[in-house]
Amino acid sequence: MKNSANQNIKPLTTRVNERGNLEISGCDLTELAEKFSTPLYVVDENTLRTICREYKEAFAPYPNTRLLFASKSLCTMATSRILAQEGFGFDVVSDGEMFTVHKAGVDMKTVLFNGSNKGIDELNLALELGVGRISVDNFLELSLLNELAQKSGKTADILLRITPGIECHTHEYIQTGHLDSKFGFDLTQIDSAIELIQDEYKKLNLKGLHAHIGSQIFETKVYKDEVDILFAQMVRINEKFGLNLDELNLGGGLGVKYTNVDHPPSTFEIADIIINALEENIKKYGIKPVIYLEPGRSIVCTAGVTLYTIGSSKQVPHGTKYIAIDGGMADNPRPSMYQAEYFAQIANKPEKPADETVTVAGRYCESGDILIKNITLPTPEEGDILCVYNTGAYNYSMSSNYNRVTKPAMVLINEGCADIIVERETLEDLTRNDKLPQRLGEK
């Protein structure tokens, strides 16, 4: 089976240049750190576009496939523009993501609005901007969306999000398809929801079903199981209620290779499994639905790295040696939240012998602010630039201003060009929304 970029730790254009430094897409990483400062998020446009094209190639044998990028993994105007240029639609989960892709010039008919507790303002914005689909998560949302659509004089095309009862062997917090989940309608609730749509909610146009079985998935059989369950439910619903549902959203979740112990399946392997399962069900039931897929992590993760400057170090007697960087849990909370593991290199000496085992500690005032435990590197020194791989997904999205620290900048690189796509926050940005009541007096 053909390999794909999600099975790589490094961006596809990574190499060591003539100066002996790490280079991605023709850009020397130490020069990027010097020019733009650190911490710095870096996105390789070549790798990002290649991954998009791999997905399109992998699912080309099933022409009724619609690819939606899961914006929660990385949502900026520039990356959204690239994904739209590559033929992707978007799965958004907030008004912020919705507005960002709109500002990027995305055709809003290619957008699906998802989420477990959508607000009134968010649903109104979705109706106003004309998003293509709204994935309805619960009974309250059915009622609320119908009411808002009626007030706006519009009809909302919807999918019902369901929990198919599939449990993937991933971290507890990124399992979304098992029965005990906060997301979606339980299988026993589907009929009641459809009865309400048919009898009362005349401004809702049900098009199909939506499920998402998890994230960072390495298993393959779960995708066939999901297709089988959704197909059977769609056929049952059509027969029982006299409907003609013909859309199935399978979600996303394909894993990536963070370290050498990770062995995710390729995009092509997953596509082969899904397409075979579809063809089996098409032959069985005689219905050929439109399929939506929502890859996120497997699209952007490998394309991204984060650069840090190494500062102080501490050798615990007869114990761990810590090296400190100028970032940490606020720009990458995943190690603290999910016990996530990463691979890194020193960008200014990647070919020197790796002779010292250290633990990379963040700058934040938390004992748990540890980015990488026990990694062997060339002896780290103050001022070295640490390149942490596979940080394109969820690092920027989940970043915070913890300890009142400004968020990093993000640059897009391609063929030797580097462009800022997210400005570094300033101290003025941090205090922009703060207000001092007059009763507190003058300083």
Tokens read off for 375: 């990694």
With H, G, I as helix, E, B as strand and everything else as coil, classify residue 124: helix
Across the range 325-352, mean pLDDT stands at 96
Q: What is the pLDDT of residue 367?
A: 92
Residue 183's CB: how many other CB atoms inside 10 A? Answer: 21
Question: Do the beta carbons of residue 290 and residue 247 sit within 8 Å?
Answer: yes
Determine the pLDDT at residue 164. 86
Structure confidence at residue 25 (pLDDT):
98
The confidence score (pLDDT) of residue 167 equals 56
Residue type at 312 in one-letter notation: S
Residues recognised as catalytic:
365
Q: Using 50, 70 and 90 to split pLDDT, how confident is the model at 57?
A: very high
Amino acid 59: pLDDT = 98
Please compute the mean of the pLDDT values over residues 209-229 and round it to a whole number: 91
Reply yes or no on whether the pLDDT at 253 is more than 60: yes
Could you tell me if 47 and 27 are in contact, meaning their C-beta atoms sit under 8 angstroms apart?
A: no
pLDDT confidence tier of residue 178, bands split at 50, 70 and 90: very low
Report how far residue 428's alpha carbon sits from residue 442's, in angstroms, rounded to the nearest whole number.
Answer: 19
* Contacts for 280 with CB less than 8 Å, ≥ 6 apart: none
User: Does position 105 have pLDDT exceeding 60, yes or no?
Assistant: yes
Q: What is the pLDDT of residues 354-392, one digit of tens each?
A: 999 999 999 999 999 999 999 999 999 999 999 999 999
User: pTM of this prediction?
Assistant: 0.94
Domains of the chain: 5-43+304-424 (2.40.37.10), 45-300 (3.20.20.10)
DSSP string, 274-299: HHHHHHHHHHHH----EEEE---HHH
Label the pairing between strands 417-422 and 409-414: antiparallel
pLDDT tens-digit map of 110-152: 999 999 899 999 999 999 999 999 999 999 999 999 999 999 9
How many whole angstroms separate alpha carbon 112 and alpha carbon 138?
Answer: 16
Cα separation of 319 and 384, whole Å? 23
Q: What was the pLDDT predicted at 168? A: 42
Binned at pLDDT 50, 70 and 90, residue 184 comes out as confident
Task: Write down the pLDDT at residue 418.
Answer: 98
Please enumerate in sequence order all residues whose Cβ is within 8 A of that of 197, keeping only pairs 6 or more positions apart, or say none: 142, 204, 206
E strand map for 17-140: 22-24, 27-28, 40-44, 65-70, 89-92, 111-113, 133-136
The pLDDT of 233-258, averaged and rounded, is 96
Bridge partners for 157 per DSSP = 205
Percent of the chain with pLDDT over 70: 96
Task: Please state the rounded mean pLDDT for residues 266-294.
Answer: 97
Nearest to 297 by CA among 326, 276, 325, 270: 270
pLDDT of residue 227: 95
- Percent of the chain's residues with pLDDT above 90: 91
pLDDT for residue 215: 87
From CA 117, how far away is CA 373, in angstroms rounded?
A: 37
Handedness of CA 217, 221, 224, 228 (dihedral sign): negative
Which spans in 86-189 are helix H?
Answer: 95-103, 120-129, 139-152
pLDDT band at 181 (very low <50, low <70, confident <90, very high): low
**Residue-averaged pLDDT of the chain:** 94
As a whole number, mean pLDDT of residues 63-90 equals 98
- Spatial distance between the Cα atoms of 155 and 110, rounded to a whole number of angstroms: 17
**Taking 50 as the threshold, does the pLDDT of residue 214 lie above it?**
yes
Cα–Cα distance measured from residue 61 to residue 81, given in angstroms and rounded to the nearest whole number: 26
Lowest mean pLDDT among 160-164, 295-299, 422-426: 160-164
DSSP-derived 3-state class of residue 421: strand
| Residue 196 burial (CB count, 10 A) | 15
pLDDT at 210 over 70: yes
pLDDT (tens digit per residue) in 29-50: 999 999 999 999 999 999 999 9
Nearest-CA neighbor of 374 among 395, 344, 351, 353? 344
- Report how far residue 372's alpha carbon sits from residue 362's, in angstroms, rounded to the nearest whole number: 9
Q: Outline where 242-358 has alpha helix (H).
A: 267-285, 297-300, 334-338
Lowest-pLDDT range of 213-222, 288-297, 353-362: 213-222
